[in-house]
Each structure stands twice: as C-alpha cells, then as structure tokens.
Amino acid sequence: MSLNFIQADNVPKAIGPYSQAVQTGNMIFTSGQIALKPNGEFLDNTDVEIQAEQVLTNLKNLLEAGGSSLDRVVKTTMFLVNMDDFSKANSIYAKYFGDHKPARSTIGVKVLPRNALIEIEAIAKI
C-alpha cells in the first residue's frame, strides 16, 4: 500500500521530523494540530477557546488539502492540558463539526508543544 505525504501551505509546517498528514488508501491520518498560525507563529493566548479555533481551522485546512473534510472525519483525539477547559473546548469543537459527530477520545496531559493548551488529531475518509 502506498503512502502520500500531505503538505498544505495554509497550515503550519511540521515542527519536527513528521508529516502534516499521511494518506493511504481512502484514509487520511493527521498529525496533532496546535495553535500555530500558517506562518508558524504560535497563538500565545491563555484562552483555550481562541486556541481551539486556530487548531480546528488548521485541521480543516489540512483535511481539505488531502481531499477530505471535517464531515468525513471518523475519529479525533483531543489533548487538553487542563481538563477544566473541556466544556469550553467542546463548544468550539461542536461549532466546527456541527451535526457530524465522529468518535473521539479526550486525554488530559501535563504539557503540549509550545505550552499549547489544546491539540487535536484526526482520522478521516477521503
């Protein structure tokens, strides 16, 4: 099975030795997205809702670059530094996914890259 490594210009470049996303067959697997703007600038804000907006915009743009979309996501994983932010992050997540409700895990973590408050990765059909 072949792999197609996806590189989207309107999504921040990978900040390590990994791909933004990988497509194999009719599936796309994204790397986790944090609150980086496409130019690589970190959205240094202590508001999880503002960071979640940037994260989900990045995820949407990345999926579209790979021939998919948020309404074709089958599974997400959301990482939160503070589980007290769950309801705030969840409200932004619901805004982006609407009636589409992919399977999801939410995991509390001690720290994320660049001291982000939230990170989300996705698996989607193409």
CATH at residue 101: 3.30.1330.40
Its domain, for residue 92, covers 4-125
126: Cβ–Cβ under 8 A, 6 or more apart, which residues?
A: 23, 26, 27, 28, 66, 67, 68, 72
Cα atoms found within 13 Å of the Cα of residue 19, Cβ hemisphere only: 13
Tokens in use for 116? 């982000």
Q: Per-residue pLDDT tens, the chain, 126 aa: give them.
A: 799 999 999 999 987 899 999 999 999 999 999 999 999 898 877 899 999 999 999 999 999 999 999 999 999 999 999 999 999 999 999 999 999 999 999 999 999 999 999 999 999 999
Please state the pTM of the whole predicted model.
Answer: 0.95
Q: How many domains does the chain have?
A: 1
